[in-house]
Amino acid sequence: MRVRFTGLKAWWVQRLSAVYMLLFVLFLLYSFALQPLREFSRWHAWVARPGISVAFLAFFAALLGHMWVGLRDVLLDYAKPAGLRRGLLAAVALGLLGLCIWLLVILLGLQG
């Protein structure tokens, strides 16, 4: 499987994810302004609502895709010896994959 997000595809990933994350953050601010979730039970119940969980899931997907394209660009520009660059890119990819699994487990755990 090769999902590398390069060239025009990376350009789209970066922009679509940015727009979704911006809308999601504005939605979060708006929701918290309407009803501050100061107790565990209300916070937990709110995030566990299917629509909210799916919105969080899409946010995390957008965040990880956006992070991959951005960190990859930075490493391609500054990580100089090719070996170091390859190692760092692999480390970032692994880290993001781990984050992805972890966040999925958190969200799925809420549905139980």
The site for other proteins (CB under 8 A) is made up of: 15, 18-19, 22, 25, 38-40, 43-44, 47, 63, 67, 70-71, 74, 95, 99, 102-103, 106, 109-110
Under the phi-then-psi rule, with left for phi > 0, alpha for psi from -120 to 50, and beta for the rest, what region is 36?
beta
Q: How far is the CB of 92 from other proteins (least distance, A)?
A: 9
Q: Closer CB to other proteins, residue 70 or residue 93?
A: 70
Residue 33's alpha-carbon distances to 23, 29, 53, in angstroms, are: 15, 6, 19
Shortest approach of other proteins to residue 82 CB, angstroms? 21
CB of 80 to other proteins, least distance (A): 14
Write down the least CB distance from residue 106 to other proteins, Å: 5
Which pairs with CB-CB distance under 8 Å and at least 24 residues apart come from 20-23? Answer: 20/58, 20/59, 20/62, 21/59, 21/62, 21/63, 21/66
Q: Is the Cβ of residue 13 or residue 63 nearer to other proteins in the bound state?
A: 63
H-run or E-run covering 81: none
Nearer to other proteins, 1 or 35 (CB): 35
